C-alpha cells in the first residue's frame, strides 16, 4: 500500500505482530503503531481506511469513527463471507 499512497498508518493491537514484521526497514511513508483502532486518535486528513479483520464485531463502530473523522472510503474484509468490499463513508452514500 505504501507504494500507492502518500501516507500509510498501520495499526496493530498485538505488539508481537509488529516485531515479526520489523525485520525489513519500512518505506518512509509507512508508520506502524501498536494501538487499538477503536480508541486511537485518528489523524486529520484521512481519506481511505483499510480494515483487515474477519469476522469483525465492531465494524459499525470503526465506520462511524472514520466517518466522523472525514474519511470517505473503507476497504474491508470484516463482514463474514463477503470478501473484500469498498464501503462509501461520505455523506449521501
Strand 73-76: give its sheet, edge to edge: 48-51, 73-76, 85-88
Q: Would strands 85-88 and 73-76 be described as parallel, antiparallel, or unpaired? A: antiparallel
Same domain, 4 and 48: no
Same domain, 55 and 45: yes
pLDDT, tens digit, for every residue of 25-58? Answer: 778 888 888 999 999 999 888 999 998 887 788 9
Same domain, 30 and 69: no
Same domain, 51 and 84: yes
Same domain, 57 and 76: yes
Same domain, 31 and 43: no
Q: Rg for the chain (alpha carbons), in Å? A: 14
Same domain, 25 and 48: no
Strand, helix or coil for residue 6:
coil
Q: Which residues constitute the domain of residue 46?
A: 37-93
Determine which of 7-11, 22-26, 52-56 has the lowest per-residue pLDDT on average.
22-26
Torsion sign across C-alpha atoms 11, 17, 18, 23 = negative
Number of domains comprising the chain:
2
What's the confidence (pLDDT) of residue 81? Answer: 75
Amino acid at each position: 500500500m505504501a507504494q500507492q499512497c502518500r501516507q500509510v498508518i498501520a495499526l496493530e493491537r498485538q505488539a508481537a505482530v509488529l516485531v515479526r514484521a520489523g525485520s525489513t526497514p519500512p518505506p518512509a511513508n509507512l508508520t506502524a503503531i501498536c494501538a487499538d483502532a477503536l480508541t486511537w486518535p485518528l489523524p486529520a486528513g484521512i481519506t481511505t481506511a483499510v480494515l483487515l479483520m474477519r469476522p469483525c464485531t465492531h465494524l459499525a463502530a470503526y465506520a462511524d469513527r472514520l466517518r466522523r473523522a472525514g474519511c470517505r472510503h473503507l476497504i474491508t474484509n470484516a463482514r463474514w463471507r463477503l470478501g473484500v468490499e469498498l464501503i462509501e463513508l461520505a455523506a449521501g452514500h
